Amino acid sequence: MSQNPPADPSSASKASSCHVRLDLSELRATQGARGTLVEPTLTCRVKISGNMVRAELLHQRLRLMVPTLWPSQPILEAPPEVWPQHFIVAGQQTRWVQASPDDVVMHETLWALGEWLVALTVALQRTAYQSTYQGQVLAIEKNTVLIALPWARLATAKEALRWAAQHLIAWSATGGSADDEPWHKDFHEWLKNAQQRGNNIITQGFIMAARQRELPVTRLSPDAFQLGWGSAQVHWESSCFRDSMVAGRMANYKHLSTRRLEQVSIPVPKTHVVTTQEAAAQAAEILGYPVVVKPLNNDRGEGVFSNLHSQAELISAFKKAAEFSSNIIVQRHVQGEDYRLLVVNGKCLVVTRRDPAAVVGDGKHTIKELVDIANQDPRRGDSTRSYLIKLALDDISLEVLAQQGIEADTIPASGEKVLLRQIANFSTGGTVEDVTDRVHPDNALLAVRAARAIGLSIAGVDLLISDIERSWREVNGHIIEVNGGPGLRLHWLGNPTRDLNGEILDQSLGKHQLRIPTAAVLGLARNGCENPAARICRMLHHLLVANDGSPGTTTSQGVFINSEQISTQSSVSSGTVPAALCDASVDAAFFELWPTLLEAYGHFCDRYEVLALYEADESLSNNVSDCLARAGHSVVINADSESVRALRKEISAGCQSVLVSITADNPDLVAHRAQGGEGLTIAFHQGARWIVACQGNDEKPLLSVNVLSYLHDALGDAGLREAMVALAIAHALGMRWENLIMPMVSFPLKQHYPIQ
């Protein structure tokens, strides 16, 4: 794939000092993560040629262009000054291959171009409502940059990369917006189509918040995802979390929620449910005008008409509301300002005042012209995903204007506010203001009680009250609705700097731990037989089962869940997330890692609490750094392997090393112990060879080699070494030595798990 500079010669002449060509090749996608990414990864080789400027000038020029990328899109949440680093994995190691050490300026420029291409590609995917997090530059070789990009929908990611290259070429050359480029219309058409296939914007916000908190995320559907692994997992959809079907149904059917609120003495307007115009008129007479008419089970303010003072207005509103539902609510109209109180897990988290769609006169323009001027705001759009909704002069607006004694051609006085809607709803063009700091405690508590009465862990409670700073008891406030799965955009707009999605996650999850213990063994797969790394994983699995655990293990020989082998093939070979991470019964997950797996599928786990390096050769050279970057607190080293010992220098300082060797006088083990390090070895104890755990000068005999004769007879000293690695991993995961001895003796060398 090649991206050429713009054909317009005048465009190139504007900045001849920076006229680049980007040639994209070797695109390769994996379902697992590569590099230090935590998502499915697309790698690409980018050959860069042409005239280039210094990295500092390039950054300065491109940051000026960021606001022109998609002005109406709030999901980027990244001001120009944080580009491109906001979209780049932090703390990555710079790899500069086969380049002259004297050419520092060129290296920095190439690296900067690579990072901007990554940042733009990630940003465009987010703008297309794909919840991608961060990418990275992997390496530079001469004039070629290797990049790694996250992807959620592969076709969207590839197109985003292509359009990112187009923008980067145009921006770097002209120093101006790409709006005048001949391809820009096609770009907007692509983005519009891609957005239609994207995520719910609320779901996207939660996934991004989870990524920022380094929480494991697994997609279940476009709008649902799994947080955490195994038995620690929780499921989330949009802004719904742990709510029962009963609570959801009650929130959706407004008459049920109103009845429930009345049962617990929460003030609500008197309400009737009707199906005919005659019944609606009769209900209005009983309630007394003014009244409100709205569909029984509809959201976003659609079909809602308030402050109706006559039967004629009532019948007109009934007909329009009936377009959304056959069951219509007629409700006593309550005076007051409209507030949405967001309740999360028993706490009123944020409060936003909603004002109806309106324009403010300037003494010069008609109402129609003021609407057109307001709609020029690039943040306003027609989509339900738009940051702000365009104002409309439709039949409803014309009726509201008529109620005010004016028309669309009227020129309102300067400062005069003209309503276009009676209902204060964000989705019909309304505006919002954050008033969280001004809410009276009684009003916050009332919202919490209302959410609790319906049974919602996350609820949007609508309160009508004349003064939010005074108790509802003093000013006759009323709860109008309690909404499950509430929208969040009005709160985002009310306080754009607040990490609301993150706060909701934190409040909902509390101290719930989403991770389960994980360990991986790096080795070399052998066709037709069980290899050492796979056997070590199976030993580890057996140790946990024997201690009443419920492990899930993935090896080249199959998948094991608790006491069953559920597959004779590795699930990762089919490109699916391992069952060990998805099965809700699993309380620890173990993985064998081998070269072809890592090259073809990458990592499905962002972190291994314990990583064991058992075998290594040249086929693993491109993956060892990635594996070690995912090591949590311990790395178990086969000190008897020269190729493995050579990898010790790549272990980060924050990781504890545990060395395993058949011989107690292994030089690396001796030196490691001299510095107080931990290890396992074989030494004489009570006149026989024993497996001994050691730390510094301290030694703890674990079990006699004689009781593991079945391993030694079948595999020689290698079998004992594998057992020691498994024991070391289990202990590093927190298991006590005394709980590991007997299970190790009873390990079934031959697989005997029944296939599920």
pLDDT tens per residue, range 470-502: 999 999 999 999 999 998 988 988 898 899 999
637-659 pLDDT, tens digit per residue, is 999 999 999 999 889 888 999 99
pLDDT tens for 255-274 read: 889 999 999 999 999 999 99
Give pLDDT tens digits for 368-393: 999 999 888 877 777 666 667 888 89
Percentage with pLDDT > 70 across the chain: 92
Residue 569 pLDDT > 80: no
DSSP character for 94? Answer: P
Residue 505: per-residue pLDDT: 95
Highest-scoring range by mean pLDDT, 217-221, 349-353, 595-599: 349-353
| Structure tokens given for 388 | 């702000």
Predicted TM-score of the model (pTM):
0.87
Q: How many alpha carbons fall within 13 Å on the CB side of residue 121?
A: 32
Mean pLDDT in residue range 559-573: 82
176-209 pLDDT tens trace: 788 888 999 999 999 989 988 888 888 889 999 9
Query: Where is 522: in which H helix or E strand?
Result: strand 518-522
Look at residue 182 and give its three-state secondary structure. coil
225-237 per-position pLDDT tens digit: 999 999 999 999 8
pLDDT of residue 441: 97
Banded pLDDT at 423 (limits 50, 70, 90)? confident
Q: Which of 76, 165, 39, 159 minimizes the C-alpha distance to 114?
A: 165
Question: Does residue 303 have a pLDDT over 60?
Answer: yes
CA dist 492 and 352 (Å) reads 10
Nearest in space to 206 (alpha carbons), one of 414, 494, 538, 499: 499
Rounded Cα distance between 727 and 72, Å, is 56
- pLDDT (0 to 100) of residue 7: 37
How would DSSP label each residue in 468-513?
TTS-HHHHT-EEEEEEES---HHHHHH-TTS-HHHHHHHHHHTT--
Only one residue has tokens 């420029």, namely 109
Per-residue pLDDT averaged across 36-55, rounded? 91
For residue 213, is pLDDT > 90?
Answer: yes
Cβ-contact 725, 536 below 8 angstroms: yes
Confidence at residue 8, expressed as pLDDT on a 0 to 100 scale: 39
Cis bond before residue 84 (omega within 30° of 0): yes
Report d(CA 542, CA 730) in Å as an integer: 11
Work out the average pLDDT over 81-107: 72
How far apart, in Å, are the Cα atoms of 341 and each of 250, 348, 387, 491?
18, 7, 20, 10
What's the CA gap between 612 and 627, in Å, rounded? 10
CB environment 95-119: b (16+ within 10 A), e (fewer): ebeebeeeeeebbebbbbbbbbbbb
What mean pLDDT comes out for the span 34-63?
90
Phi, psi at residue 631, to the nearest 5°? -70, 135
Q: Are 456 and 241 in contact (CB under 8 A)?
A: no
pLDDT at 429 over 90: no
What number of residues does the chain have?
756
Q: Which residue has the tokens 């989330």?
A: 236
Backbone torsions φ then ψ of 91, nearest 5 degrees: 70, 20
Round to whole Å and give the CA distance between 304 and 293.
6
Please indicate whether residue 346 or residue 239 has the higher confidence score (pLDDT). Answer: 346
Q: Lowest-confidence range among 11-25, 76-90, 187-201, 233-247?
A: 11-25
Work out the average pLDDT over 292-304.
80
Minimum mean pLDDT among 368-372, 398-402, 541-545, 706-710: which range? 398-402
- Once rounded to an integer, what is the mean pLDDT over residues 452-469? 96
Contacts (Cβ under 8 Å, ≥6 apart) of 77: none
Q: What value does the mean pLDDT take over residues 108-129? A: 94
Q: What is the pLDDT of residues 667-721, one digit of tens each?
A: 999 999 999 999 999 999 988 999 999 999 999 999 999 999 999 999 999 999 9
pLDDT of residue 690: 96
pLDDT at residue 1 tops 50: no
Name the percent of the chain lying above pLDDT 90: 60
Which of 70-84, 127-141, 148-162, 617-631 shows the lowest per-residue confidence on average (mean pLDDT)?
70-84
The mean pLDDT of the chain is 88
Q: Does the pLDDT at position 3 exceed 60?
A: no
Quote the pLDDT of residue 484. 92
Instruction: Please say whether the beta carbons of 743 and 538 come within 8 A.
Output: no
Q: Of the given ranges (201-205, 210-214, 313-317, 618-622), which has the lowest mean pLDDT?
A: 618-622
Q: What angle do CA 175, 178, 181 make, to 5 degrees?
A: 120
pLDDT at 595 over 80: yes
